[in-house]
Amino acid sequence: MLDMLTPSLATLPPVESDSLLALIALCNADPRPEKIDVGVGVYRDGAGTTPILRAVKAAEKLLWERQESKGYLGGRGDVEFAKLLRPIVLGRHADDERIDGVQTPGGCGALRLAFQVLKLANPYARVLMGTPTWPNHPPMAEGTGLEVVRYPFYDAERRVIRFDAMLDALQAGRPGDVALLHGCCHNPTGADLDPQQWQAVTRVVVERGLIPLVDLAYQGLGRGLDEDGEGAWGLLDVCDEVLIAQSCDKNFGVYRDRVGALFVKTSAKDSTANAMAHVLQMAREMWSMPPDHGGAVVRTVLQDEALTADWKVELDAMRARLNGVRAQIARADPRLAYIAGQYGMFSMLPLNFDQVKSLRTKSAIYMADSGRFNVVGMSDEALPRFIAAVVEAMDG
Ligand code: LMR
């Protein structure tokens, strides 16, 4: 019999659960039919639904017809999937043999593996992380034992990147420290580096001998597939070591299938092979092999020219809707004008936590505590009500 002084499951402290997951539960529990969920980052069309992309549906049909076995694929998952992603994720570096990629369960799986292999390579490395950032970044890095050093990334009053502070923080990095960078569609602010800023960041990364880890979870939903990859590609141009944690969950709309990949570059093909052997061993310890279905679907799309073309049309349409809704919100009030100049699924509204909470209770509008909202979380029909409620909250 365990007493309360012996550490056990019963003596665990209460958990501080991920704020975004808690928000999903809160919204689900609200019975009001008019509720608006602009919390978690899931694309919704004008009708307010998250449809399965045509290209994905067609690929699933093909897969159902053609797949003959559910036998294990091995730790790398679908090898062809990672290969076909290369031109998209790596662009002009697609043929670089010093870069290897492996399928992971979503972008989360890729990030976790990245942090873990970085910790193994250099236990003293610190992760330089701009704030605010995606709430899961710090615990994932810290969960591997890496120290996180936060710096201010965004000026929430002026709605701009605190670029000087960012450069100063990277300048203060020690050789071997990890620079965690959002490849595009910054989560939660929507404030993306412009090409000149990417160049300046890349210069400091090289000068200070930092290792960039790029979170590329929203490629294609910002400025375009290539434009959104350019920051990472510029790093690959000049850095010996780069890690890219990629996700197809958003740009293929396969959220629950958990589809991602980790790409690792080192200075030589042999050292990349060795690093990747460690990555695969770590994956083996955590999930053994990635789930297949979503990766196989993406692979099937990318193997087929017509389906790939259709996917790109659908991706363009998602991006157009994002930018269209941004423009509509920006036009509604001068205080929201900045939203038109930001990218991706999120921006932060000029609301404090009390205003965010009152939107929940009064108007059944659910956004993150920080005021981050999913730009395409609501239907076209709900958009005017959303804007009116936000403006009222700002005034109140
Ligand atoms: C988000 O930030 O809403 C998405 O990345 C979904 C998630 O897993 O948090």
Q: Residue type at 369?
A: D
Note whether 173 and 287 are same-domain residues. yes
Note whether 103 and 76 are same-domain residues. yes
Note whether 68 and 124 are same-domain residues. yes
Exposure letters 352-369 (e unless 16+ CB within 10 A, then b): eeebbebbbeebbbbbbb
Q: What is the mean pLDDT of the chain?
A: 96
Nearest CA owner, ligand 1 atom 4: 41
Contacts of 293 (CB under 8 A, 6+ apart): 63, 257
CA of 376 to the centre of ligand 1 (A): 14
CATH code: domain of residue 29 = 3.90.1150.10
Substitution site in 20, 248, 372 for ligand 1 pocket (most atoms within 8 Å of beta carbon)? 20
% residues pLDDT > 90 (the chain): 94
Of 286, 304, 322, the one marking the end of a domain is 304
Residue among 89, 72, 56 at smallest CA distance from 261: 89
Query: How far is Cα 182 from Cα 130, in angstroms, rounded to an integer?
Result: 9
Nearest CA owner, ligand 1 atom 1: 41
Q: What is the pLDDT of residue 21?
A: 83
Q: What is the pLDDT of residues 284-329, one digit of tens each?
A: 999 999 999 999 999 999 999 999 999 999 999 999 999 999 999 9
Evaluate the CA torsion angle 222, 227, 233, 238 in order and state its sign. negative
Integer angstrom CA distances of residue 272 from 31, 215, 233, 237, 278: 52, 19, 18, 17, 10
Q: Which two tokens stand for residue 381?
A: 């029909």
Residues contacting ligand 1 via CB (< 6 Å): 20, 40-41, 134, 136, 187
Q: What is the pLDDT of residue 1?
A: 65
Confidence (pTM): 0.96
> Is 18 designated active site?
no
Note whether 234 and 298 are same-domain residues. yes
CA of 173 to the centre of ligand 1 (A): 28
Q: What own/partner pairs with CB < 8 Å and gap ≥ 24 does 152-156 have? A: 153/186, 153/189, 153/191, 154/130, 154/189, 154/191, 154/348, 156/348, 156/350
Per-state percent for the chain, helix, strand, coil, to nearest 5: 50, 15, 35
Note whether 139 and 284 are same-domain residues. yes
Note whether 359 and 272 are same-domain residues. no
> Is 217 designated active site?
yes
Note whether 196 and 260 are same-domain residues. yes
Mean pLDDT throughout 172-191? 98
Note whether 227 and 312 are same-domain residues. no
> Is 57 designated active site?
no
Distance from first CA to last CA of the chain, Å, rounded?
56
Query: How far is Cα 181 from Cα 243, in angstroms, rounded to an integer?
Result: 10
Note whether 130 and 214 are same-domain residues. yes
% residues pLDDT > 70 (the chain): 99
The boundaries of the domain holding residue 350 are 9-53+307-395
Of 253, 279, 304, the one marking the end of a domain is 304
CA of 216 to the centre of ligand 1 (A): 13
DSSP, res 97: T
Q: Of 58, 110, 134, 261, which residue is the catalytic one?
A: 134
Note whether 237 and 293 are same-domain residues. yes
Of 274, 304, 334, the one marking the end of a domain is 304
Query: How far is Cα 217 from Cα 227, in angstroms, rounded to an integer?
Result: 14
4 lies in a domain? no
Nearest CA owner, ligand 1 atom 2: 41
33 lies in a domain? yes
Query: How far is Cα 311 from Cα 307, in angstroms, rounded to an integer?
Result: 6
Number of folded domains that form the chain: 2
CATH code: domain of residue 183 = 3.40.640.10
> Is 250 designated active site?
yes
Q: Of 250, 283, 310, 389, which residue is the catalytic one?
A: 250
CA of 189 to the centre of ligand 1 (A): 13
Give the pLDDT band (50/70/90) at residue 244. very high
Q: Of 78, 192, 215, 228, which residue is the catalytic one?
A: 215
Three-state DSSP class for residue 53: coil
CA of 202 to the centre of ligand 1 (A): 26
